[in-house]
Structure 1
């Protein structure tokens, strides 16, 4: 992602007057990575265990995004993508920081040749390519890479004390993982320009008013509400949910005419699924649909 607030040596500068903060996310203390992951905690949530749950777990660095963390994130997403039980995924951090930026110490001495030749940060985009719906539950700081990570998700829920920002300009660089592109599409040119050019942050309430997040909840309730949303999504046809996600995402890439054509093709395609037949039959028979994801 971008070279943003890393909360390594630059923590005091970018999050003034922030200090090292304790890890306090009660809702996810029971997470277990089973020894498989070093930087994240992974498990299934929900009454039917159908919501994949990924928690960033670098509390001393305020969940700064190092390359190892993002590699593990990709591995966890791959596992949930191939798990037929999982219908939605929630990504969160701690109550103090969703992710306070990318790890500057990993970037500080890189050269242009290394970055350009190796396509630096390319694999960090995995979150945006997952077919299953992904919900970001953002408490605390979502700055630089943290803000970009949240924007890669399909839905953003924010805690009432969350803060969003792209402070890369303060480090002499610019966002590198979609910050200038996704932020502009979400909040419009003027606010995106202001945030990118000044490094200023916006509150959860401002983020909701600008369209960056869909809902704001009290800090302690945020993760639970995100999981509820995931359960609701997972209760629908997973196959059709992926098609719906594809159609919505296409609106950012295609003209209106082309987007409508894609939507129509996907709509027609649902008529080849057993779930479409079950959904409409259940509606006519006034009963709850039982989807089999086929």
Structure 2
């Protein structure tokens, strides 16, 4: 590995020289909003040259870079650990810890777009078959926080994770999202909590089925009503508080992948019969599932919706990509409906015929509890786990998912800093939700 590191360091020397002028120019400039158009144009040209150099280096040496960072794929790193290791080993390839710390303090429209350089890096890692596969498997591990909480959860059957609560009732783990002031909108903190909650449900042997549902709201318009999800918190996005690594990538590669593919434990813990711990999951949709909320439904084994609820994916109107929805919705709902929903923002009411393409059962709001309980009993059957695993494997092979995520990693990073996104989200800087 020392020889590999030395040869990579030498290979990075020339591209790093090409990338350096962008930082030199930036050092002498005022903040983005105070620059002249000429200053910004000069910086943009240097940044473009830097990104060309980084992309070319990673296209040629991507697998070797990953091997150097993970000691030949023997070390499993989380997303933030991997990009920090890259910054330390190959200065200038990705933003440094200090650079990202300064960037996080800025509103989205004031940032320099350093997360685009992280996007170039992760896209390159995922494009490599061996590196990408190892990275995806690494992110299916249980989080350290879940391992710390497991004993208490198994003993008491409940845990409060802040933006959500997990409670074991019979054979089910009920994950209830409790972000009432924002209509259960998704932010960095909720994504981290969801990762832990899913881990706990999968690690507890007494849990046979996971259930995700939104809690009751305090928002004046929906006070006392349950809401499934309002999607991404656009106020946080405008304020620069939505992280590319800890939200946009971790969400898809962390807890959502664990729901679909299961939890990967250390070698030997599961014996030879299985590589992951998998369990069926139920989504109970009250009021609406917007954006990321609707995306979630595509990986659940049973979706139960209240008759007064609706589904929508307004990401195209917001300017971003709706996660893995572009891969999964066409398979579920077909080409035409998918384009209506993703490209035109069509809302589908639960009572419409097309709603049956994304949910299994529509009941009156007062009957939701009973419907969920009946679904838990049905999905707790012993053969369900093996069959849902085979269905998921057939519908979305890991290689298909890896290839999609390699392109998504880059394109979502670019969309995060696109001008139209800035224009559309700025109006949300003083609003907590949209519905």
Same structural fold, with TM-score higher than 0.5 when normalized by the shorter chain: yes
**Residue number in structure 2 paired with 1:115:** 244
* Closer/same/farther in 2, CA of residues 74 and 115 from structure 1, 3 Å limit: closer
Q: How does 1:45-194 map to 2 (within 5 A)?
A: 45=169, 49-94=170-215, 95-108=225-238, 115=244, 119=249, 121=251, 122-125=253-256, 126-130=258-262, 131-176=278-323, 178-194=324-340
After TM superposition, give the deviation of residue 107 of structure 1 in Å. Answer: 2.8
* Closer/same/farther in 2, CA of residues 211 and 152 from structure 1, 3 Å limit: same
How large is the Cα RMSD of the aligned pairs?
2.7
**Distance across 2 between alignment mates of 1:79 and 1:174:** 29
**Distance across 1 between alignment mates of 2:166 and 2:244:** 30
Contact 1:90–1:227 (CA under 8 A) maintained in structure 2 = no
Which of these residues, 140, 159, 166, is aligned with residue 42 of structure 1?
A: 166
SS at match of 1:102: coil
Contact 1:147–1:164 (CA under 8 A) maintained in structure 2 = yes
**Residue number in structure 1 paired with 2:24:** none
* Closer/same/farther in 2, CA of residues 251 and 35 from structure 1, 3 Å limit: closer
Give the structure with the larger strand fraction.
Answer: 1
**Residue number in structure 2 paired with 1:232:** 378
- Structure 2: tracts of 5 or more residues without a match: 1-155, 216-224, 263-277, 398-435
* Closer/same/farther in 2, CA of residues 115 and 42 from structure 1, 3 Å limit: closer
After TM superposition, give the deviation of residue 144 of structure 1 in Å. Answer: 0.4
**Distance across 1 between alignment mates of 2:187 and 2:338:** 25
Could you list the per-position Cα deviations for residues 21-69 of structure 1 after superposition, in whole angstroms to 9, with x for gaps in the alignment? xxxxxxxxxxx99663101122122xxx111101111111100011211
Give the structure with the larger helix fraction.
Answer: 2
- Structure 1: tracts of 5 or more residues without a match: 1-31, 255-294
After TM superposition, give the deviation of residue 108 of structure 1 in Å. Answer: 2.9
**Distance across 1 between alignment mates of 2:370 and 2:180:** 20
Contact 2:176–2:212 (CA under 8 A) maintained in structure 1 = yes
* Closer/same/farther in 2, CA of residues 104 and 127 from structure 1, 3 Å limit: farther
Q: TM-score, normalised by structure 2?
A: 0.46
Contact 1:208–1:215 (CA under 8 A) maintained in structure 2 = no
Q: TM-score, normalised by structure 1?
A: 0.66
**Distance across 2 between alignment mates of 1:40 and 1:253:** 29
Aligned residue pair count: 215
| Larger RCO: 1 or 2 (CA < 8 Å, sep 6+) | 1
Match status 1:222 vs 2:368: yes
